[in-house]
Structure 1
Amino acid sequence: MSTPTGFMEYKRELPGDRDPMERIKDWNEFHRTFSEEQLRTQGSRCMDCGTPYCHTGIELSGGPSGCPVNNLIPEWNSLVYRGLWREAYERLAKTNNFPEFTGRVCPAPCEGSCTVGLIGDPVTIKTIEQAIIDRAFEEGWVVAQPPKSRTGKKVAVVGSGPAGLAAAAQLNKAGHSVTVYERADRAGGLLTYGIPTMKLEKDIVQRRVELLEEEGVKFVLNTEIGKDIASQELYEQFDAVVLCGGATKARPIGNMEGHELKGIHQAMDFLNSSIRSYLDYDMKDGTYISGKDRNVIVIGGGDTGTDCVATALRHGCASVTQFGTHAKAPLERDAINNPWPEYPNVYTLDYAHEEAKALYGEDPRAFSVLTKKFVGDENGNVTELHTVQIRRYVDEQGRKIYEEIPGTEKIWPADLVLVAVGFEGPESTVIDQLGLETDRRSNVKARYGQYKTNVDKVFAAGDMRRGQSLIVWAINEGREAAREVDKYLMGSSLLP
């Protein structure tokens, strides 16, 4: 334990972020960092609980509670407090292949289940995690560690997102020869094309990819399995196949009136066009979907929609509004309906909302809003979006019912509409070609903890198996799937 009374002596502090009005002028990361003294002080607030809920990694009420990769949080908090940074890194690396990713973009369910949060503010776990791995890279402690011997077994990993990278890292560690196939021109999946650079700069992703290459993992880019290489051909070439293709099939907006108008785009198309332009041309090519001088409406209240808000602001939009069908969250955790250690559903200003408020004077979100139709001009360009306020309740069968409130209709000016209403599941090409069974949500059917599909030597992990979820769950599943593949190939496994 750090100090028995640290959580009483010191208040929770965060390093803060760059000024919103300054950071919207660039695409760099917006977080600041703490000094070593400040980090040690925050580490001292950890209670080293008898039952550390922070690293339990379970689901409660449909949401995460604790760390899905079971990070040894109290241990590295104590080590940071004592100034033992290398030891802290070694403990962190035991459970998490990519803390430089989770320390930046994970929503930190560990903090939501921190015991200190029962009587005050939780420990700044995420900040400390990022500080440990950043220092490890700075000090040169993170080096390639190729396996001492090879098993002679070949494994194909389809998809280079967090699940695919985690599976590849672990399987390579076990001595198998791993080839990762990625259809994009860069590895990383949604870590590269999906999460804006201000949340995760892409050289951080590339740095980890290069480390994996040094360790012996082979990456084949610009290659889509099922199109460039037939799924059956891949199946025949390898001793095992791990499908980590993600849940990339965007949920459509149905047959809503006006949905075919120009200026209505899927959120990922919008985000990826900007990321690619930034990486390849520093935004000077002019081929990305631009929000400059446009009234932007984002339909969808999740993280993807929030990233659209931040991106539109950096384009120089005239206005931006984000719609959500959910009601505005309370300022404090509801002790009855959202008790500890569930992930706290409370009102917060995410980075994009903070930026929009600084620029326009108010939170850009509109809550409990249902889009009814789109209206365009004579040239087929969207100009208006019609909505109505709704109330949500749960019926006797437990179904969520949305009821429109008469008299709350509203018309919004809109030159650019971005649809961020989630994903239906994985794309079906590989699934169909291999004859894989799917669940009722079209995800590949493979039991959690086993990851075996109905086809011999084919495994599935991450969003492709569980549906759209958190990066930390993807890493968890990639690691666990690697262990199961290793068992399948060798009869047993020493992988964690």
Structure 2
Amino acid sequence: MGNPKAFMTIMRKEAGYRPVDERVYDFSEVEQTLNIEDRKLQASRCMDCGIPFCHWACPLNNKMPEWQDLAYKGKWFDAYKILSTTNDFPEFTGRICPAPCEKSCVLKLHEEPVTIRENEAAVAEQAFLQGFIKPVMPSVRTGKKVAVIGSGPAGLACANRLNHKGHSVTVFEKDEAIGGLLRFGIPDFKLHKQVIDRRLDLMQAEGVAFRTSVNVGIDISAKDLLKEYDAVCIAIGSGVPRNLNVPGRELKGVYFALEFLQMQNRIIAGETIAESAMISAKGKNVLVIGGGDTGSDCVGTSIRQKASSVTQIEILPKPPANKNPDTPWPLYPMVLKTSSSHEEGCVRRWNLDTVKFIGEDGKVTGAEIEEVEWAKDAEGRMTMTRTGKKEVIKAELVLLSMGFVNPVYEGLLQELGVELTQRKNVAIDNAYHTSVDKVFAVGDAAMGASLVVRAIASGRDAAIDIDRFLRK
């Protein structure tokens, strides 16, 4: 702890966002960066607590006090070495993680937590910028082969760790490019795809093989993979979106959020989309159903596509703005979150349930909604009642952003003989080992839809189990 009084003398300073009237005209990253000296000062605010609740709250168990002290001292490579022992991709999480570490920082008690997430991104960027991050080939190859099905954050983390342990890893991806949710689900204004490509180039140079446009179970038999590889890791995500089965769902103009976001990401990547298949918000009243991060991404993307208006509704009640007595420190606070997209112009409403969609000539023109109320029952569970108050929200484009359910490839799992739980996630018998001898599962496929940081942690930990299995 180089500066024991910094937390008292230096205030929290965030890099902030680019001006709204500038950023809404492009898909470049909205978040700015502090200069190096300011960043060092922010890192110096870490108090090196006797009990680091930031470490406790982080799904990756990052060692914040250690690497932040090194960042404060300008020892960027040493900081990166410590950070990368727990986090394979700090340049990703430093941009898109909701930072549970900051919510559990002791300084959060005074609403001045250390800017851990931004500091993390800075450490990774300085390490890349100064040329510290170079390909490191495994000293010895074990002769064991592992197939990883899916190239999202969990699959990439698992592949990266197994490769470093000397196993030969091939990652299979059904889409045309590697990255999964990182590439096709998250907008460029939050995570520029060059950041992903830079890491993939490094992994390839270190020996990881990538095979794109290969749908395992269709293009390649899953059983053949079991014969060819010593272990198979299922990292297929939990990519089936939750549907809204109400009258009018079949109308043109009602889409899942990822259909909309994936198309925009592909357009930015240079893919040509047929006009008949185009999903565009331009000139339309857009209704986003669902109040989470994916819904927020739909808001920002719609605004950049020049929507006439954007409204986001949520069936749950509006959370408190700053502190929530139901989730006290050091727990993650369930409070109102206002994203950069919300700041760009969006009407947000809560306690609204969608009753039906209304349309003309087969196209959606609006949604009928009904107000609901929430209260705790005798057992403390939240129960919903309808008020009978209804209205119609005008919308020519409706985006369903209500979360995800079962894995994408149930057929693949059945072919492998892997059992599914009642929640439609992969059944785990022992750590990340499934009910099939050589088959493991990681990330959302194993635990349900969750955060990118949790997926990376899952992939990292599963690699330990797979390595142990291969070395028996």
Shorter-chain TM-score bucket reads over 0.9
Residue matched to 1:352: 341
Match of 1:221 among 212, 220, 224: 212
Distance 2:90 2:199 in 1: 11
1:201-248 deviation digits (Å, cap 9, x = unpaired): 111111111111111010010001111111111111110001000001
1:154-186 deviation digits (Å, cap 9, x = unpaired): 000000000000000000011001000000110
Residue matched to 2:281: 291
Q: Structure 1: 5+ residue runs without aligned partners?
A: 57-65, 357-362, 492-496
Q: CA RMSD in A?
A: 1.5
Letter aligned with residue 305 of structure 1: G
Say if 1:124 and 1:426 are closer, same or farther in 2 by CA, change over 3 A: same
Say if 1:396 and 1:234 are closer, same or farther in 2 by CA, change over 3 A: farther
Distance 1:332 1:305 in 2: 21
Residue matched to 1:444: 426
Letter aligned with residue 92 of structure 2: F
Letter aligned with residue 346 of structure 1: V
Does the residue aligned with 2:288 lie in a helix, a strand or coil?
A: strand
Does the residue aligned with 2:369 lie in a helix, a strand or coil?
A: strand
Say if 1:220 and 1:90 are closer, same or farther in 2 by CA, change over 3 A: same
Residue matched to 1:456: 437
Distance 1:258 1:193 in 2: 28
Q: Does 2:5 correspond to 1:24?
A: no
Does the 8 A contact of 1:333 with 1:344 survive in 2? yes
Map residues 56-455 of structure 1 onto 2, 5 A cutoff.
Answer: 56=56, 66-254=57-245, 256-281=246-271, 288-334=278-324, 336-356=325-345, 363-377=346-360, 379-397=361-379, 399-406=381-388, 408-427=389-408, 428-446=410-428, 450-455=431-436
Between the two proteins, what is the percent identity of the paired residues?
A: 44
Distance 1:430 1:395 in 2: 42
Distance 1:398 1:455 in 2: 40
Query: How many residue pairs were aligned?
Result: 471
CA drift at 1:345: 2.0
Residue matched to 1:35: 35
Range with greater deviation from structure 2 (239-248 or 37-46): 37-46
CA drift at 1:348: 3.2
1:85-118 deviation digits (Å, cap 9, x = unpaired): 1211111111110001000001000001111112
CA drift at 1:393: 2.6
1:414-434 deviation digits (Å, cap 9, x = unpaired): 100011111112021211111
CA drift at 1:278: 1.2
Distance 1:394 1:282 in 2: 50
Q: Does 2:51 correspond to 1:48?
A: no
Q: Does 2:461 correspond to 1:480?
A: yes
Say if 1:24 and 1:149 are closer, same or farther in 2 by CA, change over 3 A: same
CA drift at 1:46: 0.7
Q: Structure 2: 5+ residue runs without aligned partners?
A: none
| TM superposition score normalised by structure 2 | 0.97
Does the 8 A contact of 1:277 with 1:288 survive in 2? no
Letter aligned with residue 401 of structure 1: T
Does the residue aligned with 1:424 lie in a helix, a strand or coil?
A: coil
1:29-61 deviation digits (Å, cap 9, x = unpaired): 0111111111111112111011101011xxxxx
Say if 1:396 and 1:453 are closer, same or farther in 2 by CA, change over 3 A: farther
Say if 1:177 and 1:290 are closer, same or farther in 2 by CA, change over 3 A: same
Distance 1:376 1:282 in 2: 29
Does the residue aligned with 1:253 lie in a helix, a strand or coil?
A: coil
Does the residue aligned with 2:405 lie in a helix, a strand or coil?
A: strand
